Amino acid sequence: MSKLVIVGTVAFDAIETPFGKTDKILGGAATFIGLSASQFDIDSSIVSIVGGDFPQEYLDLLSSKNIDISGIEIVKDGNTFFWSGKYHNDMNTRDTLATELNVLADFNPVVPENYCDAEVVMLGNLHPLVQSSVLDQMTTKPKLVILDTMNFWMDSALDDLLQVIKRVDVITINDEEARQLTGEYSLVVAARKIHTMGPKFVVIKKGEHGALLFHNDNVFYAPALPLEEVFDPTGAGDTFAGGFAGYIAKTGDTSFENMKNAVIYGSTLASFCVEKFGTERMKGLTSADVHKRLLQFKKLTQFEIVLNDNL
């Protein structure tokens, strides 16, 4: 069984959408990635930091999913990272109401010794120097390094970001970020330019419009599953990344063909995430739920094209 190291935030979120609002609830990129990847029954570890205000029940939840939490540093006299946001009616745009770094401001990740040889590393959205420091701790070269980032780091730490991008195999960003990073409007051209920066595979997430996977001249597109209700998009991108990384860690196959499957699994898991606030839907998700939705995905995407010479 492959080991998966997940680096990112374990945090508090407060969310408001057209369907309601929450007080502080469990959030953070590493949390969503970990819960998603746990569906594949792999040996995973979260590297993060929380304050003394972080409830033990949340740590117990992660442990109950067979996620190693020895890499989560607890600063007893500190406060956990907190983010608050409000989504617009289209659910595609949001306003950040508050960002409190708290203990995250001084985060120096320490990968647990028995995970320094992990085959797959998932670098969640953090400062590029933090992401680089994790790669420096790996004692053997990982089979696959996946990086997620955002426009904030492109604005504030571009040189550091470009340095860590050189060291990864897969980058996952959304369409707006791909355009900002490359200065190209066409996502095909943008992906080609990102390839020259280092990553062999480029995943461009398009929210409710699915995701694109690029490798050399190969392109694969996976739609998002049409849903009756979308309550909260928070963490959907991280859930996608967790499904993608978890599937690769489970199968051990880093070919383009297998990554197509990883994209489908990531999209499937993300479709659950948005159905309730925060991590609520992911907490009780079963393999039967996932299998049923995968069949829906298959029905949505597979068909025989009839080639008629007379047309």
Instruction: Give the CB-side neighbour count of residue 87, counting CA atoms within 13 A.
Output: 20
Chain centroid to CA 53: how far?
25
CB count within 10 Å of CB 62 equals 22
Please report, in tens digits, the pLDDT of each residue of the chain (311 residues total): 689 999 999 999 999 999 899 999 999 999 999 999 999 999 999 999 999 999 999 999 999 999 999 999 999 999 999 999 999 988 878 899 999 999 999 999 999 999 999 999 999 999 999 999 999 999 999 999 999 999 999 999 999 999 999 999 999 999 999 999 999 999 999 999 999 999 999 999 998 889 999 999 999 999 988 888 888 999 999 999 999 999 999 999 999 999 999 999 999 999 999 999 999 999 999 999 999 999 998 888 888 888 887 76
Residue 175 appears among annotated catalytic residues: no
- The pTM (predicted TM-score) of the whole model is 0.96
C-alpha dihedral (25, 27, 32, 35), degrees to nearest 10: -50
Scanning the chain, the segments in alpha helix (DSSP H) are 29-37, 56-64, 128-137, 151-156, 158-165, 175-182, 187-197, 236-251, 256-273, 280-283, 287-301
Indicate the DSSP class of residue 78. S
pLDDT on residue 169? 98
pLDDT on residue 311? 65
Which among 234, 303, 284 has a CA at the least distance from the CA of 38?
Answer: 284
Q: Which helix (H) or strand (E) holds 111?
A: none
Which of 13, 148, 169, 238 is flagged as catalytic?
A: 238
